[in-house]
Chain A
């Protein structure tokens, strides 16, 4: 008789169809064939996790068609089952897995769109903190280069492919599966607003500005990077929009030396 831990490992590998099966002698199912009953667990695991992935990647499903998606999902589940029971976290590795599938090598938009959809899923599971307004800081001394803290749900995606255009086209039911994807860099900011996600396409300077702020590099560093990319970058407009979009959760006097190091460089 196998020790319990060994028995469970063997059975888990059988459920994931990684090994032929567990020995039939260890199992019973009344008058039924226990190995046929074991297939119910295999099917439950595969179908429920496939449903999880289909819910997270609906545009990707549409891009490749559902049958292919199911095939790709079942391979992903077999090779990369969830490591924890919080299924909101399952699927992070799926875009990279899609990228590794030979059949999709001439459709890079598929894995890239999946990357955007995973960012949406992450944002939906992130906190939405109270937004601050510019007026909150009217009489506050924030020094020359304050740190700006952003909504935790903010995600920034840079792709060489037109992912937002594709994603947007697929929000309409009649979208042609293969229409509209081109090799064109798109920079996307997205964040949670209530139970929805807001997605915004950005130019290089605004993307760099948000990227620096999100990574805590301070306002001066962010403005410097944006201006280096586009001398016409309008800092005032960018700041007003930042607050107007509810993306700022706190502003405080700089506590680090990022801005100084930038100034010296």
Chain B
């Protein structure tokens, strides 16, 4: 059953990743979260979560984040999965859609992890073709996210940032800058995280991700694991500050996937991101005022932080009524039967 939604634009402020333990509380409390992001693959069926998301979509702007399309697969896209993604977008009418610069399908197997590409012309042609297919199918621009990686390929002819910039130029896609991924990969593969961000085409970055990571010691190797299982650490906040300072405010998502805490922790992290952005922009305005005598000064990138779209919160539609079938007949169950309930 399709539900009509009014368009709700994602503001250049913080939102949270919607996780199943929080759905009931989101529906009853309706906390002030700027926007929500969901993993597309969790909403390709017809379970209760899909019904819940239809209700939440009436209140919150939505971003759909794919994790399983495998845009880097040399074997091409899984057309069935692409069609399922198209249907999710048609059903929920998200304001943003994103996927990863990675591959996860090869030899007929889905690995449930995001693997790095060898960054060269061959891979660029593959990914560009797949991104174009994706954008043509969805009839919209899609944001492509940088990867957290534990290894790289010796034969790469460019780095990931150069690859992403070339992909934007070739396909017109946007970018999703995952600041935690930048830090994790830069540490694990030993490159400069700020230089990575600076090398990306700023105008293409339509969203930022923030998350926590784990630190594992394997022998003498200290490796950062992108587990999305803790608060955003200070080092990632510092890199976020660098990004916002360069880019201006962007829609920013708090991701948390393992050991998911209570909802208020996520909302607190989102509030912190908003405060940090506001303080950076305030300082920037103060500095601009001081410099007003030199009129030729270039204005910083003016993304609409102050004039963001207001997100009204309409009352939930009563579509649930159709699903609550009032029993028209009553009959005591025969003793033969036993009825149990399994929690979803």
Chain A residues proximal to chain B, CB less than 8 Å? 1, 3-5, 7-9, 11-13, 15-16, 25-34, 36-38, 40-41, 44-45, 48-49, 52, 81-88, 120, 124-128, 130-135, 152, 164, 167-168, 171, 192-203, 237, 240-241, 243-244, 246
**A130-B323 contact in complex given A7-B118, A45-B112, A86-B41, C-beta closer than 8 Å:** yes
The docked-state distance in angstroms from the alpha carbon of A110 to that of B49 is 29
A5 touches B70 (CB 8 A): no
How many residue pairs link A and B with beta carbons under 8 A? The number is 214
A40 touches B106 (CB 8 A): no
A84 touches B103 (CB 8 A): no
With an 8 A cutoff between CB atoms, is B11 at the interface? no
A28 touches B154 (CB 8 A): yes
Q: Among the listed B41, B46, B111, which residue makes an inter-chain contact with A45, where contact means beta carbons less than 8 Å apart? A: B111
Q: Among the listed A5, A27, A32, which residue makes an inter-chain contact with B221, where contact means beta carbons less than 8 Å apart? A: A32
B48 touches A195 (CB 8 A): yes
B75 touches A243 (CB 8 A): no
A125 touches B46 (CB 8 A): yes
B80 touches A84 (CB 8 A): yes
With an 8 A cutoff between CB atoms, is B302 at the interface? no
Q: Which residues of A contact B151 (CB under 8 A)?
A: 27-29, 34, 37-38
B154 closest partner in A (C-beta): A28
The docked-state distance in angstroms from the alpha carbon of A201 to that of B344 is 20
A236 closest partner in B (C-beta): B331
Q: Which residues of B contact A126 (CB under 8 A)?
A: 45-47
With an 8 A cutoff between CB atoms, is B234 at the interface? no
A-B pairs with lowest CB-CB distance, top 9: A85-B68, A131-B325, A133-B328, A127-B46, A5-B74, A125-B45, A195-B48, A30-B190, A12-B106
Q: Which residues of B contact A8 (CB under 8 A)?
A: 72-75, 103, 106-107, 115
With an 8 A cutoff between CB atoms, is B5 at the interface? no
B327 touches A244 (CB 8 A): yes
The docked-state distance in angstroms from the alpha carbon of A5 to that of B118 is 11
A40 touches B223 (CB 8 A): yes
**A9-B153 contact in complex given A3-B74, A125-B46, A197-B342, C-beta closer than 8 Å:** no
Q: Which residues of B contact A45 (CB under 8 A)?
A: 111-113
Q: Among the listed A11, A28, A171, A202, which residue makes an inter-chain contact with B337, where contact means beta carbons less than 8 Å apart? A: A202
The docked-state distance in angstroms from the alpha carbon of A177 to that of B126 is 51
Q: Which residues of A contact B297 (CB under 8 A)?
A: none
Chain B, interface residues (CB within 8 Å), range: 35 or more
B67 touches A85 (CB 8 A): yes
With an 8 A cutoff between CB atoms, is B315 at the interface? no
A196 touches B341 (CB 8 A): yes
Residue interface mask B178-219, A partner, CB < 8 A = 1: 000000000011100000000000000000000000000011
B104 touches A85 (CB 8 A): yes
Residue interface mask B282-326, A partner, CB < 8 A = 1: 000000000000000000000000000000000000000011011
Shortest CB-to-CB span from A58 to chain B, Å, is 10
With an 8 A cutoff between CB atoms, is B69 at the interface? yes
With an 8 A cutoff between CB atoms, is B84 at the interface? yes
A15 touches B221 (CB 8 A): no
The docked-state distance in angstroms from the alpha carbon of A81 to that of B329 is 47
Q: Among the listed B48, B337, B341, which residue makes an inter-chain contact with A201, where contact means beta carbons less than 8 Å apart? A: B337
Shortest CB-to-CB span from B331 to chain A, Å, is 5
Shortest CB-to-CB span from B149 to chain A, Å, is 9
A5 touches B223 (CB 8 A): no
A246 touches B74 (CB 8 A): no
Residue interface mask B142-154, A partner, CB < 8 A = 1: 0000000011111
**A168-B331 contact in complex given A44-B113, A83-B108, C-beta closer than 8 Å:** no
Q: Which residues of B contact A193 (CB under 8 A)?
A: 341
**A84-B48 contact in complex given A8-B103, A29-B150, C-beta closer than 8 Å:** no
Shortest CB-to-CB span from B168 to chain A, Å, is 20
A36 touches B111 (CB 8 A): no
Q: Among the listed A7, A16, A27, A237, which residue makes an inter-chain contact with B152, where contact means beta carbons less than 8 Å apart? A: A27
Q: Among the listed B41, B150, B331, which residue makes an inter-chain contact with A85, where contact means beta carbons less than 8 Å apart? A: B41
